[in-house]
Chain A
Amino acid sequence: MESLEALVAHIQGLSGSPEEVAHLHSLLKQADGEPLRAHAAALVPFLAHLSPETHSLGYLYLLEACATSGSNLSDFGGGDFLVTIAGFLTACSADQIRLAPDKFLNVCRVLKDQVMQLIMPIRGIAPLRAAVRKIQSSPEQLTPVHADYLLLCLLAKQYKAGLSVLEDDIFEVEQPKDLFLYCYYGGMIYIGLKKFPKALELLHNAVTAPMSMLNAIAVEAYKKYVLVSLIVNGQVPSFPKYTSVSAQRSMKNHAQIYVELSTSYSNGRYTDLETFVQANSAVFQSDNNLGLVKQVLSSMYKRNIQRLTQTYLTLSLEDIARSVQLETPRDAEMHVLRMIEDGEIHATINQKDGMVSFHEDPEQYKSVEMLEHIDSSIQRLTALSKKLASIDENMSCDPAYLMKTGRDRGRFDGRFDYDDYDSVPHKYF
């Protein structure tokens, strides 16, 4: 095992071209492990000799050894070490660190733990955002850093910062836990930003993701999913067929209160819902969902007013107030006004006689903007369709699938002259 100085010299020397870096990598791997960690305390001054951009790989190894050495980070002058890590994460070169991804992930996790320990999550946001971009091999890949990053954004209430990461569509996932956490935290961020449809999408993904056993993240996600879908759609859809079997069976048992809430909501009476919420507020509070439940309550009005648009062409404000169980026509007017501004209904309020007339959707589909909008949707859909086709192909070649279908088909070999692509399922017995 070489001495530290020799190692550092190597790092400094061999960080030029990709071949040198590969050589350096093998050297570092040899030097890695307990011996390096044992010298953790001594490593810190060496770090000052190295620059994060050019010597990223070597820096990473040393840093990781320090960080995971088990000794308290305050030994290294706590806050400064954090700064070092943060500096490294923002400045490192992406190609080099991709050679040692697990070390990089360790470093990121250490940063997150530190930051949470110091209860200053906001300090971790910028470095982790840089880290996410650097370790991703493509914008469609999900990494564990995503989940940590979103958690920090949530704790720091910096929802907008989380948006940049959430806007990419994810197609590759390595660890299922990453996906669950990502969807759950992402959903919460969108809820914080009041973008309920997108939150619904993410929470839906968390609930319907394949899982062999029910996990806690999915259950929590389901609770929020029920609430958000009540706010957005007014009802909770049943499980689609791609939900895992374990989820379908046991999810509702763990979220009983929420299911009852949704049935009470569908009855459409505000006062009933209110009493129900009051009665169970302790449960909601313990799940940290009380705020969301209150939003569900207020969405009840909106739902009822929307239902009115389907029956009446014009209605007076008093009638609206009465049927929706609001106290005064003033409240009704405010609600309707807000809904018109949000684009949820199309109506005009005639203030002279207090009548509201409901209209059809005024979109005529005559404009060029609509044309471009549809065109871009078609383009997106074409790209998505190509991806789906390739995934479908991959799936057809998947050994598990072939085994299952091959087994069934083998049983009936010679008995049936069967067309493989018969789209009508036949009963064999």
Chain B
Amino acid sequence: MSAPSDAAAAVDTPAPTTAAASSSGGFTFKLHPLVIVNVSDHHTRVKAQAACSGDSSSSSSGAGAGQPPRVFGCVIGVQRGRTVEIFNSFELVLDPVSGTLDRAFLEKKQELYKKVFPDFYVLGWYSTGSDVHDTDMQIHKALMDVNESPVYLLLNPTINLSQKDLPVTIYESELHVIDGSPQLIFVRSNYTIETVEAERISVDHVAHLKPSDGGSAATQLAAHLTGIHSAIKMLNSRVRVIHQYLVAMQKGDIPMDNSLLRQVSSLVRRLPAMESQKFQDDFLMEYNDTLLMTYLAMFTNCSSTMNELVEKINTSYERPTTRRGGRGAFM
């Protein structure tokens, strides 16, 4: 395991390390959104700091000119049998000279986290970039003494609008025989996203508080209402589909499916969810309040149109009373 030759080999032949083969390990990976948020936050911070301070100094370690610097850190979680669940992550500093992670820091952090989360172990590490780097295998091997089979989480910070899935890939290391010699290469693994209720709320919150034009109250309200509108539209179309299905079943075009009918019937029976006089009163009061607000908004709208109209009529047809010097009444 001679590092220089490995590095040389890696430099010369980048192909083996980046052969994105699929894993056959049989591990199921579950990723929590907190990790993704952490990594992206780390990356953004470093990028912002580099942009501020690194205008003059272009010698950033390992980063090409114009490319954002890579960030590194550890991921921690729980491994139960074949399921690996990644809960959290923390940042690490990569020593630019030797290309290794700061071990002392790692151990200290590990201890601290152990105190708070006794179940969590260091499961692997993360980094950012568009693809697996040659030096990554080094770091990966270095971590092998902490965890015998670490995972490598790669986040791609380049924003690709056409891409629908998350730009996160999880790699495992496997021993493959290539060109006669066994080598460790990264193989891609599938993963699922797993959320706890608290995470869902916070992710939602973060996602919605950042509209592109710097959400004022009006755009937030508009975004909120658009969300509700699309949700209701979707509900409406789904209900319509069920309705059509039932009508077709009634006519006899489709064979009767009793289990489906039972499901539909139970769905229908779920409403109304609440039946009491107090609920009715409160509901109607709120409904009337919303209607009144709409009414008021429309009134204001109408009044302003009316005002403009009156101004126009006054300018065109009335003899000006106090206006002098061609001061027009522009609305």
Contacts and interface: CB of A to CB of B under 8 A. Distances in A.
Interface of A: 210, 241-242, 244-245, 364-368, 370-371, 374-375, 377-378, 381-382, 384-385, 388-389, 391-392, 395-396, 398, 400-401, 403-405, 407-409, 411, 420-423, 425, 427-429
B291 interface: yes
A385 B330 contact: no
B316 A401 contact: yes
A388 B301 CA distance: 10
Contact of B326 (A374, A408, A423): A408
Given A384-B302, A388-B306, A395 B288 contact: no
B284 A245 contact: no
B105 interface: no
Contacts of A378: 291, 294-295, 298
12 contacts: A364-B281, A367-B284, A368-B284, A370-B288, A371-B284, A385-B302, A392-B308, A392-B309, A398-B312, A408-B328, A425-B327, A429-B325
Contact of A411 (B289, B298, B326): B326
Nearest to A427: B327
Interface in B280-331: 281, 284-285, 287-289, 291-292, 294-295, 298-299, 301-302, 305-306, 308-310, 312-319, 321, 325-331
Contact of B295 (A381, A422, A425): A381
A331 B284 CA distance: 41
Residue picked from B281, B328, B331, most chain A C-beta under 10 Å: B328
Contact of A401 (B288, B306, B312): B312
Interface residues of B, number: 35
Interface in B30-74: none
Contacts of B291: 371, 374-375, 378
B302 to A, nearest CB: 5
Given A365-B284, A365-B285, A382-B298, 8 more contacts: A210-B313, A366-B281, A377-B295, A392-B312, A398-B312, A404-B328, A405-B330, A425-B329
Contact of A381 (B299, B318, B326): B299
Main secondary structure on A side of the interface with B: helix
B316 A398 contact: yes
A391 B309 CA distance: 8
Nearest to A382: B298
A381 B298 contact: yes
Contact of A242 (B292, B302, B314, B326): B314
Nearest to A367: B284
Given A245-B319, A245-B321, A420-B330, A395 B309 contact: yes
The 5 closest A-B pairs by CB, nearest first: A401-B316, A408-B328, A400-B316, A365-B288, A242-B310
Contacts of A367: 284
A404 B284 contact: no
Contacts of A368: 284
Nearest to A395: B312
Nearest to B309: A392
A403 B318 CA distance: 13
Contact of B305 (A392, A404, A429): A392
Residue picked from A242, A368, A403, A425, most chain B C-beta under 10 Å: A242
Contacts of A428: 325-327
Contact of A404 (B289, B294, B299, B315): B315
Given A374-B288, A381-B299, A400 B317 contact: yes
A374 B292 contact: yes
Contacts of A429: 325
Contacts of B294: 378
